[in-house]
Structure 1
Amino acid sequence: MVLMENSVHTILFLPDNIKAESEAGELVIHAAAAAGVNISRHCGGAGTCGKCRVSAIDGERFLSPLTLTEKKLLKKEEIDFAVRLACCAKISGSGTLRVIDPVDDPGSRILEGTSGRPVADWSPDRKGLGVAVDLGTTTVVCYLLDLDRHKVIGTHSFLNPQVSYGDDVISRIAASTLQPGTLARMQEMLVEEMNRAFSALTEEAGTVPGALSEVVVAGNTVMEHIFLGISPESIGHSPYSPQFRTHPPVAASELGLIIAPDGAVKLIPNVAGYVGGDIVAGIAAHAVDKEKPLRFFVDIGTNNELVIGSEERMYCCATAAGPAFEGARISQGMRACNGAVEKVAMTEEGVSYEVIGGSVPKGLCGSGLIDVVAMLLREG
Structure 2
Amino acid sequence: MFKVTFKFESGEGVEAFAASGENLLEVARKTNVAIDAPCSGNAACGKCRVKLLSGALDSQKTRHISDEEYASGWRLACVSKITEDVEIMVPDIASAYKSRMKAADLSSPQEIKIFEDAKRDLQEAGLELKNSLSLIPVEMTAPTLDDTMPDVERLERAVAAATGIKRVRIPYSVLKELPDKLRQYEFQVQCVVRCTSRDVFVYDIYGKEETVRAGGLVVDIGTTTVSALIIDMLNGDILAKATTGNGQIRYGADVINRIIESRKPGGQKKLQDAVIKETINPLIHTMCRTSGLKTSQIYRMSVGANTTMNHLFTGINAEPLRTEPYIPAFFKTNAVFANDLGIDINPDAHIIIAPNVGSYVGGDITAGTLTSMIWNKPELSVFIDLGTNGEIVFGNQDFLMSCACSAGPAFEGGDISCGMRATDGAIEACTIDPVTMEPTFHVIGEEGQKPVGLCGSGIIDVISELFRCNMISPKGKFIREGKRIRHDKYGMGSYVLAFQEDAGSVKDVEINEVDIDNFIRAKGAIFSGIQTLISSLDFDVSMVDNVYVAGGIGSGINMKNAVGIGMLPDIPLEKFHYIGNSSLSGSYAMLLSAEAERKVYELARSITYVELSTTPGYMDEFVAACFIPHTNTALFPSVTQVEISG
* Residue range with higher mean Cα deviation, 22-31 or 259-268: 22-31
**Aligned-partner Cα distance in 1 for 2:317–2:53:** 37
Would you say the 8 A contact 2:102–2:242 is kept in 1? no
Q: What's 1:353 paired with? A: 441
Describe the shift of the 1:81–1:347 C-alpha distance in structure 2 as closer, same or farther (beyond 3 A). Answer: closer
2:6 pairs with one of 13, 20, 28:
13
**Aligned-partner Cα distance in 2 for 1:371–1:23:** 46
2:293 pairs with one of 207, 212, 218:
207
**Alpha-carbon deviations, 1:274-307, whole Å to 9, x = none?**
1111001112234433443322111111222110
**Aligned-partner Cα distance in 1 for 2:303–2:402:** 21
Per-residue deviation, 1:93: 4.3
**Alpha-carbon deviations, 1:77-104, whole Å to 9, x = none?**
3211332111111234443322232243
Per-residue deviation, 1:130: 0.7
Report the TM-score, using the length of structure 1 for normalisation.
Answer: 0.86
Secondary structure of the corresponding residue to residue 87 of structure 1: helix
Matches within 5 A, 1:183-198: 183-192=268-277, 193-198=279-284
**Aligned-partner Cα distance in 2 for 1:267–1:89:** 40
Would you say the 8 A contact 1:41–1:51 is kept in 2? yes
Q: What's 2:345 paired with? A: 259
* Residue range with higher mean Cα deviation, 276-285 or 291-300: 291-300
Describe the shift of the 1:180–1:59 C-alpha distance in structure 2 as closer, same or farther (beyond 3 A). Answer: same
Instruction: Please tell me whether residue 343 in structure 1 is matched to residue 350 in structure 2.
Output: no
2:221 pairs with one of 135, 139, 142:
135
Would you say the 8 A contact 1:169–1:303 is kept in 2? no
Question: Which structure has greater helix proportion?
Answer: 2
Counterpart code for 1:160: N
Per-residue deviation, 1:136: 1.0
Would you say the 8 A contact 2:223–2:388 is kept in 1? yes
Number of residue pairs matched?
367
2:384 pairs with one of 294, 298, 315:
298
Secondary structure of the corresponding residue to residue 462 of structure 2: helix
1:50 pairs with one of 35, 46, 51:
46
**Aligned-partner Cα distance in 2 for 1:108–1:251:** 27
2:234 pairs with one of 148, 160, 174:
148
Q: What's 2:181 paired with? A: none
Per-residue deviation, 1:108: 6.7
Matches within 5 A, 1:299-314: 299-314=385-400
Would you say the 8 A contact 1:42–1:327 is kept in 2? no
Would you say the 8 A contact 2:52–2:88 is kept in 1? yes
Once superposed, what is the RMSD of the aligned Cα atoms? Answer: 2.7
Unmatched 5+ residue regions in structure 1?
A: 1-7
Per-residue deviation, 1:236: 1.9
2:22 pairs with one of 19, 23, 26:
26
Q: What's 1:40 paired with? A: 36
Secondary structure of the corresponding residue to residue 268 of structure 2: helix
1:367 pairs with one of 449, 457, 473:
457
**Aligned-partner Cα distance in 1 for 2:348–2:423:** 38
Counterpart code for 2:451: P
Counterpart code for 1:355: V
Describe the shift of the 1:244–1:94 C-alpha distance in structure 2 as closer, same or farther (beyond 3 A). Answer: farther
**Aligned-partner Cα distance in 2 for 1:365–1:266:** 31
* Residue range with higher mean Cα deviation, 270-279 or 143-152: 143-152
**Aligned-partner Cα distance in 2 for 1:168–1:146:** 34
Describe the shift of the 1:332–1:141 C-alpha distance in structure 2 as closer, same or farther (beyond 3 A). Answer: closer
Would you say the 8 A contact 2:432–2:466 is kept in 1? no
Instruction: Please tell me whether residue 126 in structure 1 is matched to residue 133 in structure 2.
Output: yes
**Aligned-partner Cα distance in 2 for 1:234–1:85:** 32
Counterpart code for 1:43: C
**Aligned-partner Cα distance in 1 for 2:412–2:373:** 31
* Residue range with higher mean Cα deviation, 273-282 or 361-370: 361-370
Q: What's 1:76 paired with? A: 67
Secondary structure of the corresponding residue to residue 71 of structure 1: coil
**Aligned-partner Cα distance in 2 for 1:141–1:107:** 10
Q: What fraction of aligned residue pairs are identical, expressed as a percent?
A: 34
Per-residue deviation, 1:264: 1.9
1:105 pairs with one of 87, 96, 99:
99
Per-residue deviation, 1:273: 1.1
Secondary structure of the corresponding residue to residue 72 of structure 1: coil
Would you say the 8 A contact 1:221–1:277 is kept in 2? yes
Per-residue deviation, 1:252: 0.8
Counterpart code for 1:176: S
Secondary structure of the corresponding residue to residue 415 of structure 2: coil
Counterpart code for 2:52: A
Describe the shift of the 1:125–1:92 C-alpha distance in structure 2 as closer, same or farther (beyond 3 A). Answer: farther
Per-residue deviation, 1:139: 1.3
**Aligned-partner Cα distance in 2 for 1:37–1:140:** 19
Secondary structure of the corresponding residue to residue 63 of structure 2: helix
Per-residue deviation, 1:308: 0.5
Per-residue deviation, 1:17: 3.6
Q: What's 1:3 paired with? A: none
Counterpart code for 1:279: I
Unmatched 5+ residue regions in structure 2?
A: 105-109, 135-213, 471-646
Instruction: Please tell me whether residue 96 in structure 1 is matched to residue 96 in structure 2.
Output: no
**Alpha-carbon deviations, 1:9-42, whole Å to 9, x = none?**
5433223543444444432212211221110113
Q: What's 1:5 paired with? A: none
Instruction: Please tell me whether residue 318 in structure 1 is matched to residue 404 in structure 2.
Output: yes
Matches within 5 A, 1:55-66: 55-60=51-56, 63-64=57-58, 66=59
Q: What's 1:158 paired with? A: 244
Would you say the 8 A contact 1:48–1:329 is kept in 2? no
Counterpart code for 2:70: I
Counterpart code for 2:463: V
Describe the shift of the 1:38–1:203 C-alpha distance in structure 2 as closer, same or farther (beyond 3 A). Answer: same
* Residue range with higher mean Cα deviation, 308-317 or 288-297: 288-297
Describe the shift of the 1:222–1:89 C-alpha distance in structure 2 as closer, same or farther (beyond 3 A). Answer: same
Per-residue deviation, 1:250: 1.6
Q: What's 1:218 paired with? A: 304
